[in-house]
A and B are shown apart, each in its own frame.
Chain A
């Protein structure tokens, strides 16, 4: 007998004709991992202040936040991606929190065929709304990062 677990493939590669929420799950995991890695980097960078002013300024030069040239541009784009990731992760988190309190889910009923699960209807409409919020958020982000720069 073998275990036959899908493993991490199961997180990121949904099966055929998978539902919308399944992709949100994959993206939520991916952004979550990204944020954890970023947090380590962030603590490392900010933590350098504890070793004195010189160490802090050297680190700042390294990440290029105050620097100029091609490297600074890379950090700028990275920060923009970070904003998108945080935006998605937070808004999807809001959806998960609200559904855990039983909101938007609908009530159990007799399934009538062709049946679409009620738990996949209400939260999805709410998620479309959150997507619009995310879109507006991205527009403001683009304006802030690239136009008003």
Chain B
């Protein structure tokens, strides 16, 4: 069976825009990314596509496939093909560099603003750690789901707020902000809430839920954003408990005297 690929092209250097048509043979296990790479190698070398791991971990190959945002590497062609046609477009709401390649630098800049790392008041201890911080499995579950984010940007493509507001902190950024706010080891909740409660921040989200619907990793950014709003509202009415970062695990107990342990027999080979 032959499949027709309509790929959105955009090459600013030569002023090329619009869809290009390619026809390739459908083979067993062919993913959309495989098909695009086949086109690049055999039919049209000018096609630009970004990819890295080919197994849904790196989040480079997010694109719109037949109208639905998904990762090209874990979308089987036979699952999404409609009347022998597949239409591939770049992620909207992000600056377009060329063909299917989008520029994520503005997203990463916003990501930096929310301080995506564990903040401790005792920086000296954090820089020279002796042992790990305590954390229960329940405390881990509070944020674990949100830490699966691979920053592919698919949530941005289906967010209606991002479609008109470039400065909006995208769903993935707000989910990361929440992920670090509820981390039991973290002590920087105030700093992060100050950043995300500004204009273009978390309250610009009106819960369309498109991000959670689009997420290929089961992160549920909409849930994180609503819970982040709750944190801010709680803080506003003075109900937010002051959080103390998790304690450090007590130092290793002294082991048995090594001199008393019998030595292994000498090597025979």
In the complex, chain B residues whose CB is within 8 Å of the CB of A3 = 95-96, 166
Most chain A beta carbons < 10 A, residue from B160, B210, B217: B160
Interface size class of B (residues with CB under 8 A): 35 or more
Q: How far is the CB of B144 from chain A (nearest CB, A)?
A: 6
Roughly how many angstroms separate A22 CA and B212 CA in the complex, as a whole number? Answer: 11
* Residues of chain B in range 56-103 having any CB-CB distance to chain A below 8 Å: 64, 66-69, 90, 92-97, 102-103
In the complex, chain A residues whose CB is within 8 Å of the CB of B217 = 111
Contact at A106–B223, with CB atoms within 8 Å? yes
Is B180 at the interface (CB under 8 A from chain A)?
no
Contact at A14–B93, with CB atoms within 8 Å? no
Contact at A21–B95, with CB atoms within 8 Å? no
Question: Contacts A4-B92, A22-B213 given: A99-B102 contact, CB under 8 Å?
Answer: no
Q: Of B43-51, B119-127, B227-235, B245-253, which binds chain A? A: B227-235
Roughly how many angstroms separate A30 CA and B74 CA in the complex, as a whole number? Answer: 36
Contact at A117–B144, with CB atoms within 8 Å? no
Is A52 at the interface (CB under 8 A from chain B)?
no
Contact at A120–B96, with CB atoms within 8 Å? no
* Residues of chain A in range 64-92 having any CB-CB distance to chain B below 8 Å: none
Contact at A7–B213, with CB atoms within 8 Å? no
Q: How far is the CB of A66 from chain B (nearest CB, A)?
A: 39
User: Could you list which residues of chain B lie within 8 angstroms of chain A, going by C-beta atoms?
Assistant: 10, 12, 64, 66-69, 90, 92-97, 102-103, 141-146, 148, 157-160, 162-164, 166, 206-210, 212-215, 217-220, 222-224, 226-227, 229-230, 233
A-B contacts, 6 of them at CB < 8 A, read A1-B12, A17-B213, A18-B210, A21-B208, A22-B158, A108-B144
Closest 8 pairs between A and B when the two form their complex, measured CB to CB:
A10-B163, A111-B218, A16-B67, A117-B212, A25-B208, A119-B223, A6-B163, A21-B209
